[in-house]
């Protein structure tokens, strides 16, 4: 058995509410074991043989269960641990004015992002792999972080499967 992480796109935003208990039950109904939701933000850890994990089947089952499409980016827990071990932020950490984010791209096209990429004082892309974009986001006068990060969202658009997470969430998924 392999430990997997499903990163669901756009759940618990607006009308797209998914309760953790219902999400856990949906993954168990798909035949996965040791299912655990993480932080009520569309993160599901589960055990399964790699051959039993099919993104399209997971998305179809979730749409049937919840009534709206839910894009799903999949990684193994070992892939997440390797990502963290690679130190993609070069030792930088979060503080009161800086947050770390990872955008996971489902089709391995993250390297299509034109580099360098960023808006001085707003956000900075510090690394790109085929499957991930690593960004620093800086506190704005509004109190929000990295308002210009929407430029990355526009690049990947609605036709590509991607979702972003705070790096602290990624670390929790690896534990």
Q: CA-to-CA distance for 132 and 108, rounded, in angstroms?
A: 8
Give the CATH fold of the 2-79 domain: Alpha-Beta Plaits (3.30.70)
**pLDDT tens digits along 60-115:** 999 999 999 999 999 999 999 999 999 999 999 999 999 999 999 998 889 999 99
Decide: 73 and 83 in contact? Cβ < 8 Å: no
**pLDDT tens digits along 25-64:** 999 999 999 999 998 778 999 999 999 999 999 999 999 9
**pLDDT tens digits along 138-172:** 999 999 998 888 888 888 887 788 999 999 999 99
The 3-state DSSP class for residue 27 equals helix
Q: Is 20 exposed, middle or buried (0-12, 13-18, 19+ CB in 10 A)?
A: middle
pTM to 2 decimals? 0.92
Decide: 39 and 172 in contact? Cβ < 8 Å: yes
Q: CA-to-CA distance for 160 and 153, rounded, in angstroms?
A: 10
Decide: 74 and 53 in contact? Cβ < 8 Å: yes
Q: CA-to-CA distance for 82 and 174, rounded, in angstroms?
A: 9
Report in angstroms the alpha-carbon separations of 129 from 83, 112, 158: 10, 10, 20
């Amino acid at each position: 058995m392999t430990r997997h992480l499903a990163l669901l796109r756009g759940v618990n935003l607006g009308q797209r509410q998914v309760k953790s208990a219902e999400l856990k039950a949906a993954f168990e109904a798909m035949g996965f074991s040791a299912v655990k939701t993480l932080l009520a933000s569309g993160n599901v850890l589960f055990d399964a043989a790699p051959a039993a994990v099919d993104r399209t089947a997971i998305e179809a089952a979730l749409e049937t269960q919840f009534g709206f499409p839910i894009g799903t980016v999949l990684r193994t827990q070992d892939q997440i641990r390797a990502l963290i071990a690679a130190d993609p932020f070069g030792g930088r950490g979060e503080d009161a004015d800086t947050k770390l984010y990872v955008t996971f791209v489902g089709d391995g096209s993250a390297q299509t992002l034109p580099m360098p990429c960023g808006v001085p004082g707003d956000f900075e892309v510090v690394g790109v792999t085929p499957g991930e974009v690593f960004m620093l986001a800086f506190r704005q006068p509004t109190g929000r972080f990295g308002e210009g990060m929407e430029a990355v969202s526009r690049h990947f658009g609605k036709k590509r499967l991607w979702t972003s997470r705070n790096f602290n969430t990624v670390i929790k998924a690896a534990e």
